[in-house]
Amino acid sequence: MLSVRKKDGPPVDYSKCNQMVTVYHWDGKETYTRTVHDRALLDFRKTRNVDKTGSREANTFLLVIPCDSQPVFVGDKVILGVGPEVATREDWAAFIPAKVPGLVVVQYVDSKYWQGQMVHVEAGG
């Protein structure tokens, strides 16, 4: 997915981060923010777990955004491409993965640093 670079600079090559994603953030009060990132990688995966009760499938994702500040938080919603405006509480409540194909909700965020500076964020769920 991400390859190792041998030049000076971060040890990761971000050439695979060539997708556009839209990140939606709610501040918990009244502000809904929609941010389009044109340098990202959104990778969808389907995992299968087989145990004695049968087989279960789960859809997961990994989002990588090269950055120098935090662009995504737990609870944010993400969709591939340029997504629609979400401006009200009603819009936010209706904007859910069950109703919007390809929409995902961030469950964890892991900031990655190199030489004391943030170089990218990995988020998933």
Strands 54-66 and 32-51 turn out to be antiparallel
H or E segment at 10? none
pTM of the model: 0.85
**pLDDT (tens digit per residue) in 60-104:** 999 999 999 999 999 999 999 999 999 999 999 999 999 999 999
Tell me phi and psi for residue 9, to 5 degrees: 115, 180
d(CA 120, CA 33): 20
Structure tokens at 59: 């859809």
Judge whether 101 and 73 are in contact, CB under 8 Å: no
